[in-house]
Structure 1
């Protein structure tokens, strides 16, 4: 059995299509088919059920998939560990976030500390982030809500109050706080379903008898403040994402503990490089500082 066979098998299983997998792997379809055939011959069983042009893992394939994915994962961790110990290369930190409001400050602090380390950041929905976490394809995730799992380590970093942002001139702009039920007839701007803060807010609003009416739903949380400022709608915005401009008023929510938890996540079995450990230290120090400022 060859490593190449395992790599090809995993890609076909993920895409469920031989042609698409061949394109993704930059090999010919005939070469890919022969490699999968040799793997099945070596194992003595078929791994896929052919349904038209689609390929679906059968019972044998599903069992083998978990083992193959784990085997390649461990080999990749070994490669990273040797590279880190031997200092052959500085490498790149792989980061995923569902909440980016604190990210610029954290990355600035880390870059000041380790200017030799590069990083790659992806803004994802909660489910997309969980998929990468389970595959061990990211060093750390900054997530709200926290995620728990057998292979996921979760450390709560900060309890972040969620505020109601209204434009100056709005009927509520002279208030300092507001009850959720008073927002029943308002138009909102927000992120799409699947992002932690949106799902949390929708759930709490529903518990008090209404569902927010969204006139804008996007995947760029940073855009919400400019939409509020333009009078397009009001928004639920975490305190860490508060815009410093003069044209938005932020109201506290009465009678409900409307907060989100920000957590740092990592795969329990993924090798943590020295650079990654230093990044975690920066995150802990940053949230420790803002916690003292807000208490």
Structure 2
């Protein structure tokens, strides 16, 4: 049994598609098929149920995959630890995020204190980040909602209140706070479904018996201010996005009754080896959110 066979098996098991796995591994499909076949011959059992071109992990495959994941995880931790010992001022940090608003300031500070450390950032959905964490393929996930699990450590970095932004001509502009019920008949501009803020506000509004009427749904939070100022609609916005904000043609109002808060958390695998560079990143992120 060879290490390469285990690495190839892990990818095929995850994708359950030989062509996609070969493309991901940058090898030919015939070479990959032969490698998996040799592994099955070594084990004496098939690891997949094959129906034409489709593959499905069988009971043998699922059982073996759990052991392979643990073995490859430990080998990767060993590699990272050796790299850290041999080059303590260098190394790399792997990040996955779904909330990038705070990231530039954190990375700027990190690069200033760790100039020789390479970092790589992926913008992913929470489900994708969770899978990477469980496989030990990233050092940290910075996400909202925070990722939690039996093997995952989570540090809540920020409780970010959600406010409602209205144009200064709006009747609510004279109020310091409002209720969800008062927003029932309003027209909204906002982010698309799938964004944390949108999912939170949709869920709470639904609990109040209505679905917000959106006339605009986008993926650029910065654009919402211009739309509110143009009186196209009102918007749910994060308090952190208003830091340094000067009221002009728009006002942000507190929401009563509900805990309108978005949690941002930093998560990591409990068993993953954290290099000095990774621990430095965690400290810089913590200091940023505590400042």
Q: TM-score, normalised by structure 2?
A: 0.91
State which of 244, 253, 256 in structure 1 corresponds to 2:255: 253
Task: Work out the CA distance in 2 between the residues paired with 1:234 and 1:175.
Answer: 15
Task: Work out the CA distance in 2 between the residues paired with 1:191 and 1:134.
Answer: 29
Once structures 1 and 2 are overlaid, which stretch shifts more, 128-137 or 208-217?
208-217
Kindly report which structure 2 residues correspond to 1:144-163, keeping only aligned pairs within 5 A, or say none.
144-163=144-163
Task: Work out the CA distance in 1 between the residues paired with 2:267 and 2:134.
Answer: 11
Task: Work out the CA distance in 1 between the residues paired with 2:269 and 2:195.
Answer: 21
Tell me, what secondary structure is at the counterpart of 1:172? Answer: helix
> What whole-Å deviation, never above 9, does each CA across 1:97-140 have from its counterpart, x for those lacking one?
22223222222222222222232222222222212211222111
- Residue 264 of structure 2 aligns with which residue? 262
Once structures 1 and 2 are overlaid, which stretch shifts more, 115-124 or 224-233?
224-233
Residues 181 and 208 in structure 2, CA contact (< 8 A), matched pair in contact too:
yes
Once structures 1 and 2 are overlaid, which stretch shifts more, 267-276 or 207-216?
207-216
Q: Cα offset for 1:190?
A: 2.9
- Residue 194 of structure 2 aligns with which residue? 194
Residues 188 and 215 in structure 2, CA contact (< 8 A), matched pair in contact too:
yes
Tell me, what secondary structure is at the counterpart of 2:216? Answer: strand
Task: Work out the CA distance in 1 between the residues paired with 2:232 and 2:120.
Answer: 33
Task: Work out the CA distance in 2 between the residues paired with 1:261 and 1:153.
Answer: 15
Query: Which structure 2 segments of 5+ residues have no match?
Result: none
1:97 aligns with 2:102: no
Q: Cα offset for 1:52?
A: 2.7
Task: Work out the CA distance in 2 between the residues paired with 1:174 and 1:43.
Answer: 73
Residues 126 and 196 in structure 1, CA contact (< 8 A), matched pair in contact too:
no
Task: Work out the CA distance in 2 between the residues paired with 1:100 and 1:86.
Answer: 32
1:116 to 1:220, Cα distance in 2 relative to 1, 3 A: farther
- Residue 277 of structure 1 aligns with which residue? 279
1:94 to 1:168, Cα distance in 2 relative to 1, 3 A: farther
